[in-house]
């Protein structure tokens, strides 16, 4: 049939069918989009507060044991304490009520064995303790940066001190059980070495040194610290020389070996005038 009306009707039906299929596709896409928006709305992150405040925080493991606490202690120290599987505190980081920071490390029995601290004078220190809670070794940097190492006995008294001065001099000092200085070994900033010996009262009695020009000297002093005897080898002529002094520091006896090997001796009065000489 080639009736124009029938052909026109077929074209309209074909167009309506195509539009129907397009509307179905658009509807399906709209449903998918709506479902996606619904899922996204359900899984959207919950806003988190910027600040969380409390007086104390406690961290427990799966067994309910306390493994860490953060809060204020009765003495006013703000501290973070970490504990082992027996709930024994092994590491504590804190700031005291006076504003001084410190770190304490303990063994399994709870005894403190190491401590880091910054003191009020600005010095920083590391202390190592024995099992009796006694400090036995201390590393310290003074407020101006000067480093020092101190060894202590069971009574807490320093027995040896290794230090570097601000000027660059280094020194090792040894103390007796009464805390008195008995010997010291040091280097001047320029590098000249010296050793001192002290009596039981801490008075310097003997010094052995080598000057920068290579002159060795032995000096013996009395209780008052006055040098009474000098023994040296001159740096220029390499000659040995012995000098004895009175309590006022006046030279009274001098003994010298001359370049040819001949000895020479001179005696002086209280004004250091020569009163006898040989040869």
Rounded Cα distance, 62 and 118, in Å: 36
> Average pLDDT of 122-151?
94
> Average pLDDT of 92-103?
95
Report domain extents, the chain: 55-121, 122-278
Residue 148 contacts residue 140 (beta carbons within 8 Å) = yes
**Confidence at residue 43, expressed as pLDDT on a 0 to 100 scale:** 52
Residue with tokens 């709209």: 30
Lowest-pLDDT choice from 49-53, 100-104, 147-151, 254-258: 49-53
> Average pLDDT of 193-210?
96
**Confidence at residue 82, expressed as pLDDT on a 0 to 100 scale:** 97
**Confidence at residue 15, expressed as pLDDT on a 0 to 100 scale:** 63
DSSP state string for 204-234 = EEEEEEE-TTS-EEEEEE-TT--EEEEEEE-
Whether the pLDDT of residue 230 is over 80: the answer is yes
> Average pLDDT of 31-53?
60
Under 8 Å CB-to-CB from 8, ≥6 apart: which residues?
Answer: none
**Confidence at residue 204, expressed as pLDDT on a 0 to 100 scale:** 95
Across-strand partners of 277?
266
Q: What is the pLDDT of residues 115-127, one digit of tens each?
A: 999 999 999 999 9
CATH class for domain 122-278? Answer: alpha beta
Rounded Cα distance, 123 and 276, in Å: 59
Select the more confidently predicted residue: 96 or 50: 96
**Confidence at residue 60, expressed as pLDDT on a 0 to 100 scale:** 96
First to last CA, the chain: 164
User: Per-residue confidence at 1, pLDDT binned at 50, 70, 90?
Assistant: very low
Under 8 Å CB-to-CB from 14, ≥6 apart: which residues?
Answer: none
> Mean pLDDT in the chain?
87
Whether the pLDDT of residue 27 is over 90: the answer is no
Q: Are strands 147-152 and 193-198 parallel, antiparallel or unpaired?
A: unpaired
Lowest-pLDDT choice from 6-15, 146-155, 176-185, 258-267: 6-15
Architecture of domain 55-121: Alpha-Beta Complex (3.90)
* Helix or strand (DSSP H, E) at 206: strand 204-210
**Confidence at residue 260, expressed as pLDDT on a 0 to 100 scale:** 85
Q: Within a 10 A sphere around the Cβ of 25, how many other Cβ atoms?
A: 9
**Confidence at residue 244, expressed as pLDDT on a 0 to 100 scale:** 97
Whether the pLDDT of residue 138 is over 90: the answer is yes
Rounded Cα distance, 249 and 126, in Å: 45
Across-strand partners of 140?
125, 148
User: Per-residue confidence at 22, pLDDT binned at 50, 70, 90?
Assistant: low
Q: What is the pLDDT of residues 51-75, one digit of tens each?
A: 888 889 999 999 999 999 999 999 9
């Amino acid at each position: 049939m080639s009736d124009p009306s029938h052909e026109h009707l077929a074209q309209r039906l074909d167009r309506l069918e195509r539009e129907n299929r397009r509307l179905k596709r658009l509807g399906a896409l709209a449903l998918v989009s709506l479902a996606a928006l619904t899922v996204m709305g359900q899984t959207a992150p919950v806003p988190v507060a910027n600040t969380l405040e409390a007086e104390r925080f406690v961290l427990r493991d799966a067994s309910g044991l306390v493994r860490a606490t953060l809060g204020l202690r009765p003495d006013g120290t703000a501290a973070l304490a970490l504990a082992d599987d027996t709930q024994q505190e092994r590491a504590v980081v804190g700031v005291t009520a006076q504003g001084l920071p410190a770190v304490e490390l303990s063994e399994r029995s709870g005894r403190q064995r190491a401590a880091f601290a910054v003191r009020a004078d600005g010095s920083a220190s590391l202390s190592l303790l024995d099992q009796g809670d006694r400090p036995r070794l201390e590393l310290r940097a003074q407020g101006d940066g000067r480093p020092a190492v101190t060894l202590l006995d069971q009574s807490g008294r320093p027995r040896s001190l290794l230090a570097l001065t601000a000027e660059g001099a280094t020194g090792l000092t040894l103390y007796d059980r009464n805390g008195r200085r008995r010997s010291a070994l040091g280097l001047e900033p320029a590098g000249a070495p010296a050793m001192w010996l002290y009596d039981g009262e801490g008075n310097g009695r003997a010094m052995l040194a080598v000057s920068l020009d290579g002159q060795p000297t032995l000096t013996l002093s009395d209780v008052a610290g006055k040098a009474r005897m000098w023994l040296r080898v001159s740096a220029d002529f390499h000659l040995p020389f012995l000098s004895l002094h009175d309590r006022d520091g006046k030279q009274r006896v001098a003994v010298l070996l001359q370049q040819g090997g001949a000895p020479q001796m001179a005696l002086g009065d209280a004004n250091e005038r020569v009163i006898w000489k040989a040869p």
